[in-house]
Amino acid sequence: MRSSPRRTRRYAAVLALPLALTLNALPVLADPSPQPVPPDRVSGTAQNGVALMRVVVADQAAVDRLVSLGVDLAEYTKPVDGGVEVHAVLSPGEAQGLRDQGFDVRDAISDQGDYAANLAERRQALASAAADAAETDMLTPLRAEWFTSLDGQSFLSAEVKSSAADAQTVLTATWDSGPGTAPGSGGTTTMSRFTDAGQYMYHRFSAPVPVAQVPTKVTVTSSRGGSVTVPVTKWLGERRKPPSKHYVSDFVDHYMDPTEVTGRITGLAEQFPKIAEIVDLPYRTNGYRRAAQAQFGSGTGAAAASTFYVSSKAYGSEGGNDVSVALVRPATTGTPLSVAVTGGNVAVTLATDASGAIGSTAAQVVAALNGDAAASALLTAATYRGNAGNGLVAEAPATRLTDGLLAPATVSRRPFQMKALRIGRHRDGSKVGVFLYCQEHAREWVTPVTCVETAERLLRNYNEDPATRRLVDDLDIFVMPTANPDGGHYSMYDFNMQRRNMTDHCPVANGDPGRRNSWGVDLNRNFTVGSVFDGFNGASTTCTSDTFGGPSELSEPETRNQVWLVDTFPNIRFAMNTHSYGGYFMWPPGAYKTAGRETLPRADFGTESFFWNASGHILSAVQDWRGTAIWPGRTGPVVDVLYSAAGNSADEHWYNRGIIGWDFEVGADVYDQATKQYRAVGFQPPFEEGHEEAMEFAGGQIAILEVAREYGEDHHRPDSRLKELAKDDTSVTFTFTTDEPANVYYTLDGGRPTLNSPKLAAAGMREGAQRITVNQTTEVHWFAVDIAGNVEKNYKPDGAGDNYNKETVKVRGRR
Q: How many CB atoms are located within 10 Å of the residue 270 CB?
A: 11
Q: Does an H or E element contain 161, and which?
A: strand 154-162
Q: How far is 633 from 642, CA to CA, in rounded Å?
A: 10
* Residues 510 and 34: beta-carbon distance below 8 Å: yes
Of 403, 579, 400, nearest to 493 by C-alpha is 403
Beta bridge partners of 572: 433
pTM: 0.83
The sheet that has 217-222: what strands, in order across it?
A: 187-190, 171-175, 217-222, 227-231
Half-sphere exposure of 497 (CA within 13 A, CB side): 28
Q: What local confidence, expressed as pLDDT, does residue 238 receive?
A: 45
* Residues 785 and 718: beta-carbon distance below 8 Å: yes
Alpha-carbon separation of residue 405 from 97, 309, 350, 506, 514 (angstroms): 30, 18, 31, 19, 14
Q: How far apart are the first and last CA of the chain?
A: 51
Q: Which residues contact 621 (CB under 8 A, 6 or more apart)?
A: 699, 700, 702, 703
Q: How many CB atoms are located within 10 Å of the residue 805 CB?
A: 20
Q: What local confidence, expressed as pLDDT, does residue 518 receive?
A: 94
Alpha-carbon separation of residue 805 from 243, 631, 759, 788, 794 (angstroms): 48, 39, 15, 20, 12
**732-738 vs 772-774, strand pairing mode:** antiparallel
Burial 419-454 (b: 16+ CB within 10 A, else e): bbbbbbbebeeebbbbbbbbbbbbbbbbbbbbbbbb
Q: How far is 772 from 608, CA to CA, in rounded Å?
A: 19
At 378 the three-state DSSP class reads coil
Residue length of the chain: 815
At 616 the three-state DSSP class reads helix
Q: Does an H or E element contain 147, and which?
A: strand 139-148
**How large is the angle between the packed helices 466-474 and 687-713, nearest 10 degrees?**
60
Q: Give the type of residue at 751.
A: G
Q: How far is 65 from 76, CA to CA, in rounded Å?
A: 16
Q: How many CB atoms are located within 10 Å of the residue 604 CB?
A: 17
Residues in the chain with pLDDT < 70?
A: 1-47, 132-133, 149-152, 196-199, 236-245, 673, 676, 814-815
Residue 631, judged by CB atoms within 10 A of its CB (0-12, 13-18, 19+), counts as: middle
Q: What local confidence, expressed as pLDDT, does residue 49 receive?
A: 83
DSSP characters over 84-104: EEEEEEE-HHHHHHHHHTT-E
Give the per-residue SS3 of 333-377: CCCCCEEEEECCEEEEECCECCCCCECCEHHHHHHHHHHCHHHHC
Beta bridge partners of 642: none
DSSP 8-class letter at 570: T
At 107 the three-state DSSP class reads strand
Q: What local confidence, expressed as pLDDT, does residue 497 receive?
A: 95
- Apex 500 CA angle, 499 and 506, nearest 5: 130
DSSP 8-class letter at 71: -
Of 397, 416, 346, nearest to 374 by C-alpha is 346
Q: Which residues contact 129 (CB under 8 A, 6 or more apart)?
A: 166, 168
Q: What local confidence, expressed as pLDDT, does residue 661 receive?
A: 87
Q: How far is 443 from 498, CA to CA, in rounded Å?
A: 6
Q: What local confidence, expressed as pLDDT, does residue 701 receive?
A: 96
Q: Is 498 left (phi over 0), alpha (psi -120 to 50) or beta?
A: beta
DSSP 8-class letter at 27: B
* Residues 389 and 305: beta-carbon distance below 8 Å: yes
